[in-house]
Amino acid sequence: MWAPSQMAPAEELTDVVRAYLKWHCKFQNSSKGDAAANHPNVKEPDAEKLLGISGDNVPSAHANDEDHLNHGHALNSLDVTRVVFVAAAAGAMWFLGGSSNPYITAIGVICTVVGGFPIFHEAYENITQRRMTMELSMAIAIVAALAIREVFTALVITLFVLVAEILEGLTVGRGRKAIQHLVDLLPSTATVRRNGSWSNIEIREVEMDDEVLVRPGGRIPVDGKVIGGHSFVDQAPITGESMPIEKHPGAIVYAGTINQSGAIEVRVERLGRDTTFGKIIEAVETAEKSRAPIQGIADRLAGYLVYFALSASVLTFLISHNIRSTISVVIVAGACGIAAGTPLAILGSIGRAAQHGAIIKGGLYLEKLWEVDTVLLDKTGTLTYGTPELVDVCPAPEVSATLLLRTAAIAESRSEHPIAKAILRKTTQSGIPYEDPQQFEYTPGRGIIARSDGEEIVVGNQHFLLECGVHLNQSNGAGLGSEVFVARGGRFLGTLHIADTLRPEAKGAIQSLKSMHLRTVLLTGDANSVAEDVGRKLGVDEIVSDLLPEDKLLYVKKLTEKGHKAAMVGDGVNDAPALMQASVGVAMGSGTDVARESADVVLIGSDLSKLVETLQMARRCRRTIMQNFVGTLVVDSIGVGLAAFGFLNPLLAAFIHVSSEMAFILNSARLLPPVSSANQFVRGILSQSASTTG
């Protein structure tokens, strides 16, 4: 017969159980709603409407990653309540000293089973699926602790595991919020010109070639070309550029970017998933669904660690017959740091790369990026803008530069050749007026003969002018670009030098690549003199010129056959075969659709410095994963050894397990795009409190 003073603690502990069961019933039905509301997944109706995402395309974790990635949700009321309940039960056991009281012990067992239900449920599923996981090993440890009447120890282990799963969920959840964060950048409506007036319509009703009005402060809903207005646009969410970019008629704008100052009218060129914005979301989705080879290694290593811990525990019991040491061995070994940390690091790296203007189309290509030892670079459109520019005006003696430019512009005004556009662009920028010729005759590959004010104008290459009887009394050398000769009325007026302009960031990017001990090779179809000049200015390691598309492909094949891991960077149709043959194909965002589709990585803003950042991010991801691998092996080996020799009790073993696991997961979380997670954490608690009191 128990004394009344001994019954009171049991009644208090019973009250704790009753209170928890009331909370459990209250939130049982609402938990699914909370999870749906808080789960950062693109399966939300808004995402489907904005981008045309079907339910089948919604990203889901790979089967082997479900145990960890499915923890990636926002703070859930039921989870918090369960932790508070187990903590209260453990506190009651501690303060009431119930180890000698069978009633308190029985209630403690019930608290452990009820509070640790998710652990046992997951362990049961693992048994039915014949999978060995850390959850199963922890469930075995808890049951073993209960079997030897270490109820307080079992409660504390349960508490540690529940807290660890919540922290892991909050951390991994940051990675899975990447898609929803991007979806939130796109407006749900657009202002479109219909029947001569502006009207607001749903984004899904916008059609190709529609004219969309974007007011100051509004987000641009489509990819398109500016046809009216002038403004500055913040493109940081898409291209990673820190400064707003000036937009005027003819400029390209991207969906999801922010119009800052003036109203602009945009003609729709891409919608939904075809936009650059849609490609980013697709890349993050693919990253979440796909698995890099290193994730398979992580899964196998995690399984081996579980078998190692269980085998070590059996050996410990056979040698020492100490059940507490045996339980400690099972508890101390943790593999979640690599099983959950590896996909988190990959998803975070791809999300951060997308935020900075580079689309990586899956974890496989991220892994290939960190293996790259050679970078192959196309010239036109990659290292240069791919647009001819007039770089030098060389008038003949006693001829003004104005007369030379005006005469060339008259002849070229009816031509659609890129060189003609460069001459006309420079003439217009210089404020020099010109008129159309009365007659115009174009000989492909040679030049133009035009007539204006009764005089014949000849514009073309040197041989063409000589054939037309023009005496050239000035020699400007071979030149490193296209040299255009101009004559009027049989008189030689001078030459214009046309060349492709180097991208301003190209030289710095090449130097950064070399500082990373990467070999740089210029592959181009241009003449050797032009290639040598560009290569010398940029400081590339090797220059290969006069290449046809099949020659580029052959060069990449030979390089890969030698065991090199090559990244090919290009922008044109002629680069597509080499992009597909290389270990990693990288396309410039301004390039052709064929190049972008053939590539594994797309640089949205066509900024070569983003290639450097992407390679650095890939290497950082690899370092992080290897740190987790090595750290887990070291901690588990030392921990199992200490536990086997009786230096760790189950409580200390549980603390080491949880703290090391979270350390490695947080190490991977450093790669996630920065968010104000502290504010989100507080808002989550406040919102849950509000819903509870309501």
pLDDT tens-place string over residues 642-681 = 999 989 888 888 888 888 888 888 898 888 776 543 344 3
Q: Which of 325-334, 412-421, 588-597 has the lowest mean pLDDT?
A: 588-597
Largest CA distance in the chain: 128
Token pair in block for residue 394: 């060389």
Question: Of residues 22 and 428, which shows the higher confidence score?
Answer: 428
Burial state string for 477-506 with b = 16 or more CB within 10 A and e = fewer than 16: eebbbbbbbbbbeeebbbbbbbbbeebebb
What stretches of 111-249 adopt beta strand conformation (E)?
189-194, 197-202, 211-214, 223-229, 231-234, 245-247
Given the residues 67, 378, 607, 636, select the one marked as catalytic.
378
Residue 471: what pLDDT? 86
What distance in Å separates the CA atoms of residue 417 and residue 667, rounded to the nearest whole number?
Answer: 55
Closest CA to 526 of 591, 574, 455, 457: 574
pLDDT over threshold 60, residue 53: no
Question: Of residues 477 and 275, which shows the higher confidence score?
Answer: 275
Question: Of residues 570 and 185, which shows the higher confidence score?
Answer: 570
Reported as a pLDDT band with limits 50, 70 and 90, residue 286 is: low
Q: Which of 184-198, 483-497, 549-563 has the lowest mean pLDDT?
A: 184-198
Average confidence (pLDDT) over 265-288: 76
Residue 278: what pLDDT? 76
pLDDT over threshold 50, residue 32: no
Q: Which of 150-159, 184-193, 471-480, 588-597 has the lowest mean pLDDT?
A: 471-480
**Residue 336 half-sphere exposure toward CB, CA atoms < 13 A:** 32
Catalytic annotation present for 378: yes
Residue 572: what pLDDT? 67
Reported as a pLDDT band with limits 50, 70 and 90, residue 407 is: very high
Q: Which of 300-304, 326-330, 684-688 has the lowest mean pLDDT?
A: 684-688
pLDDT over threshold 60, residue 139: yes
Question: Of residues 684 and 664, which shows the higher confidence score?
Answer: 664
Taking all residues of the chain, what is their mean pLDDT, rounded to a whole number?
77
Supply the pTM of this predicted model.
0.66
Length of the chain: 694
Residue 298: what pLDDT? 79
| Strands 374-378 and 519-523, sheet pairing | parallel
Residue 331: what pLDDT? 83
588 CB-near residues (< 8 Å, 6+ apart): 381, 382, 569, 570, 571, 595, 602, 603, 606
Q: Give, in degrees to the nearest 5, the angle at Cα 135 between 134 and 138.
A: 85
Q: Which of 243-252, 479-488, 659-668 has the lowest mean pLDDT?
A: 479-488
Residue 241: what pLDDT? 59
pLDDT over threshold 70, residue 153: yes
Residue 675: what pLDDT? 53
pLDDT digits (tens, 9 = 90+) for 420-465: 888 999 999 999 999 999 999 988 778 899 999 889 999 998 888 8
29 residue type, one letter: N
Residue 17: what pLDDT? 44
Burial state string for 587-608 with b = 16 or more CB within 10 A and e = fewer than 16: bbbbbbeebbebbbbbbbbbbb
